[in-house]
């Protein structure tokens, strides 16, 4: 790739010719704020927080979407840019239900007073993202305190219709990450932009999400920068059951929360031991905390058997543990629905184990047990709601807030070993890779793998619903070239 | 999701046609357009709600739209608006209690030579004066 | 003052849209001549010797635009006519189409030949039902007469959106999406309709092309200003006697247009201000009446020629009330994609209304001044970037109009 020389903030920068100003800056340790930008999707350049001054241009250029040009001279920050970024934030906040700072002790709060990263003082921060909201962080950085406009009262109801993915349009900043992820990555398109100008709103086509094509995969939750879309929280109930005599609380913690938990706590992977999470949960009052290994291995053994039993020369075996992927197939490919084999997720297996063998061994009534699954894979929440496998599903955001509320400091708490169902059964490495998702991908092309079963088989792993759709189109037209296809949302 | 219309069919024209047939873009119209153009219903609604000429709800029997752009304003739109509001007993943006008349703003219609401009159920009425308002409203009902 | 009609040359002389009349008046001779001319020669005629600049408002050299599209190696190319005339005060495109739709089509077909396009669209605003009908009929007549040359033309009806007059938003809308502007670069000439090389030109531009091809560059350059040759169709509105279109050479002065042609301000009132170019442009004062009406001369006095709309305002008006109309226009037409325009135009309209109602304070005026600084630098597209220009001009030139409406004390 040919290289381009340009100047950013007085520094000579050399970068690839197809890079944007933002990429060139980041590669050289120069920070430019962003909000609507999301890695993996085409930049939208609509929030206007990444604006920079390019000499020779009268208007500011959006760094996220402007390609570098040889000899370009860029200023990422100066008085006017900072003033204009602040105005942009003020404008967003002017119609954003600002309830993250309802601290009783201060009356009304100013940026300088509160450190929301670790605020133990007041529990009246109503917003689900207080402390890790991208908008709040930027507003703090640009010292947005007093808004010069009349604030709009909240005018939309929170959409709780799915019981899993909640929408609060009053917090939406119109970044459209959710729309793009739902349409371009997941190919579902349940959310869309409606109306024009100041009436623009991100909404499902009908009254609520439940009546739309939403399959509750929760990707929108993961990309929303504010509290506009979030996973349902039941912190109060969970803590109640943790404390209640007569209820045995059993939790399973999945390793899939590590990525997000690391972002929230700012702990590095080496410092973020899942056993600290176990310690934290025990401190809150959970009676047993299992790690995922046993249940996952048990689930994979079941899946492995199903796979072997169903291998056929003519048709690929289609398998999924994802409730959302199942719903997606029922909706979009009803003719194939009967052919897709469901294998249990680690959560489902956990639920069965606890209420079955484990309860018996412990001499407990299943009805006295409260089962909690701690996982970042949101479809698990939909599955629990639908099948009742566990009582509560907690994602990393909710876990983090729960720990804030109860004074658990993951940085300092000593590790506690997990409780165990038993010795973890061995699972074939190749099968594990095929049958578990890992990090959710935004790419268009499914992963092609080979497994050594039956003398070597070509298998395909669809890591999001867009990949799933494309693969199933091939299956529909008998053009799929794989022995096994796993589907994930 | 494949299209059933020709490759070069223009969605805008189809939306206008659907609105003419159904009166406004009903659920049925949206579903038809979605099927024809290989779009989801959400996409059709997202596109349709962008444009002010496309209606997603049933229009009232008499819809009076008055242009409020600068040339019509200079030509005296304010007095005409006042006359309309007085006659109907509602303010701009409202519908009468019996649901018959709605007063709305509309943007520059490109008829600035005969300002102020009113659209009566979509029909152009130029050079409107406060004195003509009553006659205009009666016309609308017919 | 005598008009010089090029775009409007057939107005009143032929029955609009009747191809036989058009041909009898010399129509489609230029097209025939063009199709026998070398493409590079044709492009050079428009670009260098003719120097035809776009008549939509941006005044980009038409030949240069066509040359860019011509230079791209692609089987699929498009020629598009922007008939989404939405700038308040502008109605010249409607008058051109309603008097002579064939001249627009002839210009498009010449353009299609020049760049190598076999498909063309006329994006006409949905409110112009009569224009759409005339254009559809004219296209059918051209097909029947065998003059199409293999170029397929069709009309797309807009549906009520001013921002779709911006070329990239127009392309999005034509492709069947929300009319939200695209990032530039890439420019439509390299990546336009469906990602293919596309030329988008205004109605008046296309209407002028046949005459230049027929009569040559020297003739065209002999008319009007040196840097912006030819004629311009001006649309007059507001407090002026003759509210109609006039086509005049571009070296006329504003005075000649407003007083000689327009008949000046009626009823003995005094002239207060003139807004040239529509709601997105600045105001001129009576003392500036002798400014020439070409693109560069207007820029030199911090104003713009724009679409050629001329709104005449007498001294019975307070500029704040006119700004209410203008700010609410932009708030309504903002596409909603970028923060500064979506939220900025909304608040700008609210605050201007507040001041107009006598509820505003000095702080509110300061807020408007903030928007004036902020919008041009931060908005995604020309709509937002020019949404506060009229406001800036009004505050600068008529501070007393604002002062008289402000509350005495600051809160």
Please indicate, yes or no, whether residues C62 and C193 belong to a single structural domain of this protein.
yes
Of C86, C176, C238, the CB nearest to B108: C86
Boundary (domain end) residue, out of C169, C195, C221: C221
- Kindly state whether B70 is in contact with chain C, defined as any CB-CB distance less than 8 angstroms: yes
In terms of residue numbers, what domain contains A332?
Answer: 313-342+428-487
Q: Is residue C8 included in any domain, yes or no?
A: no
> Does B50 sit within 8 Å of A189, measured CB to CB?
no
> Does A60 sit within 8 Å of C377, measured CB to CB?
yes
pLDDT at A167 over 80: yes
Q: Is residue C76 included in any domain, yes or no?
A: yes
Boundary (domain end) residue, out of C221, C248, C281: C221
Please indicate, yes or no, whether residues A372 and A467 belong to a single structural domain of this protein.
no
Omega before residue B116 within 30° of 0, cis: yes
Quote the CA–CA distance of A281 and A283 in Å, as a whole number: 5
Coil, helix or strand for C198? strand
Q: Is residue C4 included in any domain, yes or no?
A: no
Q: Which two tokens stand for residue A231?
A: 């996973």
Of B37, B53, B71, the CB nearest to C126: B53
Q: Is residue C5 included in any domain, yes or no?
A: no
Instruction: Say whether B62-141 and B1-58 share the same fold.
Output: no
Please indicate, yes or no, whether residues A23 and A148 belong to a single structural domain of this protein.
no
Dihedrals φ, ψ of A13, to 5°? -125, 135
Q: Is residue A13 included in any domain, yes or no?
A: yes
Please indicate, yes or no, whether residues A64 and A26 belong to a single structural domain of this protein.
yes
Question: What is the per-residue pLDDT for A105?
Answer: 33
Boundary (domain end) residue, out of A372, A406, A440: A406
Measured in angstroms, the CA of B99 and the nearest CA of chain C are apart by: 24
Please indicate, yes or no, whether residues A374 and A276 belong to a single structural domain of this protein.
yes
Q: Which of A376-390, B111-125, C271-285 has the lowest mean pLDDT?
A: B111-125
Of C238, C324, C332, the CB nearest to B75: C238
Please indicate, yes or no, whether residues A366 and A240 belong to a single structural domain of this protein.
yes
Please indicate, yes or no, whether residues A264 and A159 belong to a single structural domain of this protein.
no
Quote the CA–CA distance of A396 and A280 in Å, as a whole number: 13
Q: Which chains reach chain A with 3 or more Cβ–Cβ distances below 8 angstroms? A: B, C
Beta strands in A9-63 (DSSP E): 11-16, 51-54, 61-62
- Kindly state whether B107 is in contact with chain A, defined as any CB-CB distance less than 8 angstroms: no
Tens-digit pLDDT profile for residues A397-422: 999 989 988 889 999 999 999 999 99
Q: Is residue A459 included in any domain, yes or no?
A: yes
Q: Is residue A33 included in any domain, yes or no?
A: yes
What is the fold, at CATH topology level, of the domain defined by B62-141? Answer: Glutaredoxin (3.40.30)
Average pLDDT over residues C276-286: 96
Number of Cβ atoms within 10 Å of the Cβ of A339: 14
- Kindly state whether A178 is in contact with chain B, defined as any CB-CB distance less than 8 angstroms: no
Quote the CA–CA distance of C122 and C282 in Å, as a whole number: 30
Tens-digit pLDDT profile for residues C116-154: 999 999 999 999 999 999 999 999 999 999 999 999 999
Q: Is residue C11 included in any domain, yes or no?
A: no
Measured in angstroms, the CA of A195 and the nearest CA of chain B are apart by: 5
CA atoms within 13 A on the CB side of A3: 6
In chain B, helix, strand, coil percent, each to 5?
45, 15, 40
Q: Is residue A246 included in any domain, yes or no?
A: yes
Quote the CA–CA distance of C116 and A271 in Å, as a whole number: 64
Boundary (domain end) residue, out of C173, C197, C221: C221
More confident position, A193 or C50: A193
Of A65, A92, A196, the CB nearest to C183: A65
CATH code at C248? 3.10.20.600
Q: Which two tokens stand for residue C165?
A: 């007059």
Please indicate, yes or no, whether residues A285 and A355 belong to a single structural domain of this protein.
yes
Q: b/e string for C374-383 if b means 16 or more Cβ within 10 A? A: bbbbbbbbbb
Please indicate, yes or no, whether residues C398 and C270 belong to a single structural domain of this protein.
no
Please indicate, yes or no, whether residues C305 and C371 belong to a single structural domain of this protein.
no
Boundary (domain end) residue, out of A228, A252, A281: A228
Please indicate, yes or no, whether residues C42 and C191 belong to a single structural domain of this protein.
yes
- How large is the ipTM? 0.94
> Does C321 sit within 8 Å of B112, measured CB to CB?
no
Which residue in A36, A23, A61 sits closest to A180, CA to CA?
Answer: A36
Question: What is the per-residue pLDDT for A121?
Answer: 42
- Kindly state whether B50 is in contact with chain A, defined as any CB-CB distance less than 8 angstroms: yes
Q: Is residue A481 included in any domain, yes or no?
A: yes
CATH code at A272? 3.40.50.1780
Q: Is residue A303 included in any domain, yes or no?
A: no
In terms of residue numbers, what domain contains C369?
Answer: 319-403
Tens-digit pLDDT profile for residues A427-449: 999 999 999 998 888 999 999 99
> What is the rounded average pLDDT for all residues in chain A?
90
Please indicate, yes or no, whether residues C211 and C105 belong to a single structural domain of this protein.
yes
| CA nearest to B1 within chain A | A332
- Kindly state whether A193 is in contact with chain B, defined as any CB-CB distance less than 8 angstroms: yes
Please indicate, yes or no, whether residues A466 and A478 belong to a single structural domain of this protein.
yes
**C-contacting residues of B 4-63, CB under 8 Å?**
8, 10-13, 15-16, 37, 46-47, 50-54
Of B12, B69, B107, the CB nearest to C173: B12
The domain at B1-58 falls in which architecture? Answer: Orthogonal Bundle (1.10)
Please indicate, yes or no, whether residues C283 and C329 belong to a single structural domain of this protein.
no
Residues C304, C274: contact at Cβ < 8 Å? no
Please indicate, yes or no, whether residues C292 and C340 belong to a single structural domain of this protein.
no
Question: What is the per-residue pLDDT for A126?
Answer: 66
Mutate to test the interface with A, among C343, C352, C411 (most CBs of A within 10 A): C343
Tens-digit pLDDT profile for residues B109-120: 999 998 899 999
Contacts for A7 with CB less than 8 Å, ≥ 6 apart: A13, A72, A73, A74
pLDDT at A453 over 80: yes
Please indicate, yes or no, whether residues C207 and C69 belong to a single structural domain of this protein.
yes
CA atoms within 13 A on the CB side of A60: 32
Question: What is the per-residue pLDDT for C57?
Answer: 86
Please indicate, yes or no, whether residues C333 and C388 belong to a single structural domain of this protein.
yes
Element (H, E) at C92: helix C92-99
Question: What is the per-residue pLDDT for A111?
Answer: 44
Please indicate, yes or no, whether residues C156 and C260 belong to a single structural domain of this protein.
no
The domain segmentation of chain B, as residue ranges, is: 1-58, 62-141
Question: Number of folded domains in chain C?
Answer: 3
Boundary (domain end) residue, out of A30, A57, A77: A77
**C-contacting residues of B 73-132, CB under 8 Å?**
73-75, 78, 105, 107-115
Of B13, B73, B111, the CB nearest to C325: B73
Q: Is residue C411 included in any domain, yes or no?
A: no
At A191, the pLDDT band (50, 70, 90 cuts) reads: very high
Return the residue matching tokens 């699972």.
Answer: A427
Please indicate, yes or no, whether residues C107 and C23 belong to a single structural domain of this protein.
yes
Coil, helix or strand for A122? coil
pLDDT at A78 over 50: yes
pLDDT > 70 fraction of chain C, expressed in percent and rounded:
99
Q: Is residue C13 included in any domain, yes or no?
A: no
Question: Number of folded domains in chain A?
Answer: 4
Instruction: Sort strands B118-120 and B62-67 into parallel, antiparallel or unpaired.
Output: antiparallel
CATH code at C355? 1.20.1440.230
Tens-digit pLDDT profile for residues B76-105: 999 999 999 999 999 999 999 998 999 999
Tens-digit pLDDT profile for residues A322-352: 999 999 999 999 999 999 999 999 999 999 9
Q: Is residue C6 included in any domain, yes or no?
A: no
Count CB pairs under 8 A between chains A and C: 95
Please indicate, yes or no, whether residues C380 and C397 belong to a single structural domain of this protein.
yes
């Amino acid at each position: 790739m040919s290289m381009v020389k340009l100047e950013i903030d007085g520094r000579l920068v050399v970068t690839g010719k197809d890079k944007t100003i933002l990429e060139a800056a980041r590669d050289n340790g120069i920070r430019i704020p962003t909000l609507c930008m999301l890695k993996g999707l085409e930049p939208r350049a609509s929030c206007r927080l990444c604006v920079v001054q390019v000499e020779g241009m009268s208007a500011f250029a959006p760094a996220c979407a402007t390609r570098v040009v040889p000899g370009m001279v860029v200023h990422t920050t100066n008085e006017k840019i900072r003033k204009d970024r602040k105005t942009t934030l003020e404008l967003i906040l002017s119609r954003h239900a600002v309830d993250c700072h309802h601290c009783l002790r201060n009356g009304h709060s100013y940026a300088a007073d509160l450190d929301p990263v670790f605020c133990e003082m007041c529990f009246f921060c109503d917003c689900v993202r207080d402390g890790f909201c991208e908008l709040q962080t930027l507003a703090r950085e640009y010292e947005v305190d007093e808004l010069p406009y009349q604030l709009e009262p909240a005018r939309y109801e929170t959409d709780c219709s799915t019981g899993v993915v909640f929408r609060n349009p009053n917090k939406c900043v119109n970044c459209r990450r959710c729309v793009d992820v739902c349409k371009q990555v997941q190919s579902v398109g349940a959310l869309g932009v409606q109306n024009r100008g100041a009436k623009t709103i991100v909404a499902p086509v009908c009254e609520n999400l439940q009546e739309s094509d939403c399959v509750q995969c929760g990707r929108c939750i993961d990309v929303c920068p504010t509290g506009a879309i979030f996973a349902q929280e039941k912190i109060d109930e969970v803590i109640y059951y943790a404390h209640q005599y007569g209820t045995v609380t059993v939790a399973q913690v999945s390793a899939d929360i590590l990525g997000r938990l690391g972002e929230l706590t700012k702990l590095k992977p080496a410092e973020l031991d899942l056993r600290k999470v176990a310690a934290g949960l025990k401190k809150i009052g959970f009676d047993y905390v299992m790690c995922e290994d046993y249940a996952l291995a048990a689930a994979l053994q079941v899946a492995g058997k199903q796979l072997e039993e169903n291998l056929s020369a003519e048709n690929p075996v289609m398998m999924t543990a994802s409730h959302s992927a199942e719903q997606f197939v029922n909706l979009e490919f009803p003719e194939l629905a009967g052919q897709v084999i469901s294998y249990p997720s680690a959560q489902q297996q956990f639920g069965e184990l606890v209420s079955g063998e484990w309860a018996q061994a412990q001499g407990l009534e299943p009805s006295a047990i409260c089962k909690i699954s701690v996982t970042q894979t949101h479809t698990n929440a939909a599955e629990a709601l639908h099948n009742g496998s566990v009582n509560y599903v907690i994602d990393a955001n909710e876990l983090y807030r729960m720990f804030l509320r109860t004074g658990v400091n993951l940085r300092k708490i000593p590790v506690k070993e997990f409780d165990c169902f038993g010795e973890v059964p061995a699972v074939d490495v190749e099968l594990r890779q095929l049958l578990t998702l890992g990090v959710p991908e935004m790419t268009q092309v499914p992963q092609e793998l080979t497994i050594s079963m039956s003398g070597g088989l070509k298998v395909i792993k669809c890591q999001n619903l867009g990949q799933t759709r494309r693969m199933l189109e091939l299956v529909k037209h008998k053009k799929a070239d794989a022995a096994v296809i796993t589907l994930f949302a | 999701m494949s299209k059933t219309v020709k490759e070069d069919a223009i969605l805008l024209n189809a939306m206008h046609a659907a609105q003419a047939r159904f009166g406004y873009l009903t659920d049925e119209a949206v579903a038809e357009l979605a099927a024809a153009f290989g779009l989801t219903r959400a996409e059709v609604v997202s596109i349709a709600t962008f444009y002010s000429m496309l209606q997603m709800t049933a229009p009232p029997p008499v819809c009076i739209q008055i242009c409020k752009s600068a040339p019509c304003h200079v030509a005296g739109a304010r007095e005409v608006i006042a006359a309309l509001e007085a006659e109907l007993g509602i303010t701009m943006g409202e519908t009468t209690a019996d649901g018959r008349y709605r007063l709305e703003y509309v943007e520059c219609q490109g008829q600035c030579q005969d300002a102020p401009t009113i659209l009566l159920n979509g029909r152009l009425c130029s050079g409107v004066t406060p004195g003509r308002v009553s006659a205009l409203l009666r016309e609308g009902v017919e | 003052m005598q008009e010089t009609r090029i775009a409007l040359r057939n107005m009143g002389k032929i029955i609009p849209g009747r191809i036989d009349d058009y041909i009898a008046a010399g129509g489609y001779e230029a097209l025939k001549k063009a199709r026998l001319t070398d493409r590079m020669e044709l492009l050079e005629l428009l670009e260098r010797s003719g120097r035809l600049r776009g008549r939509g408002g941006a005044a980009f050299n038409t030949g240069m635009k066509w040359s860019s599209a011509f230079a791209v190696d692609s089987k699929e190319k498009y020629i598009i006519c922007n008939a989404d005339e939405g700038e308040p005060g502008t109605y010249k495109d409607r008058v051109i189409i309603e008097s002579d739709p064939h001249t627009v089509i002839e210009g498009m077909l010449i353009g299609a030949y020049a760049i190598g396009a076999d498909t063309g669209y006329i994006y006409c605003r949905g409110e112009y039902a009569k224009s759409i009908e005339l254009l559809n009929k004219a296209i059918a007549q051209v097909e029947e007469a065998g003059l199409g040359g293999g170029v397929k033309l069709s009309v797309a009806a807009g549906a009520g959106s001013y921002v779709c007059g911006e070329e990239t938003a127009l392309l999005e809308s034509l492709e069947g999406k929300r009319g939200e502007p695209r990032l530039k670069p890439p420019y439509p000439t390299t990546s336009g309709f469906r990602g293919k090389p596309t030329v988008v030109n205004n109605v008046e531009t296309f209407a002028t092309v046949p005459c230049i091809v027929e009569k040559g560059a020297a003739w065209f350059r002999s008319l009007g200003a040196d840097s912006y040759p030819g004629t311009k169709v001006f649309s007059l509105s507001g407090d002026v006697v003759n509210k109609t279109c006039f086509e005049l050479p571009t070296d006329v002065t504003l005075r000649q247009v407003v007083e000689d042609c327009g008949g000046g301000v009626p009823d003995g009132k005094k002239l207060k201000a003139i807004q040239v170019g529509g709601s997105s442009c600045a105001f001129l004062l009576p003392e500036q009446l002798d400014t020439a009406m070409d693109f560069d001369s207007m820029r030199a006095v911090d104003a713009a020629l724009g679409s050629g709309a001329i709104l005449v305002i007498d001294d019975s008006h307070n500029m704040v009330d006119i700004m209410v109309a203008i700010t609410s226009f932009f708030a309504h037409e903002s596409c909603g994609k970028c923060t500064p325009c979506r939220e900025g135009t909304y608040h700008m309209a609210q605050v201007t209304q507040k001041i107009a109602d006598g509820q505003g304070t000095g702080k509110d005026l300061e807020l408007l001044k903030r928007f004036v600084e902020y919008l041009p630098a931060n908005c995604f597209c020309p709509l937002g970037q020019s949404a506060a220009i009229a406001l800036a001009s009004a505050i600068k030139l008529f501070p007393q109009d604002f002062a008289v409406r402000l509350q005495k004390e600051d809160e």
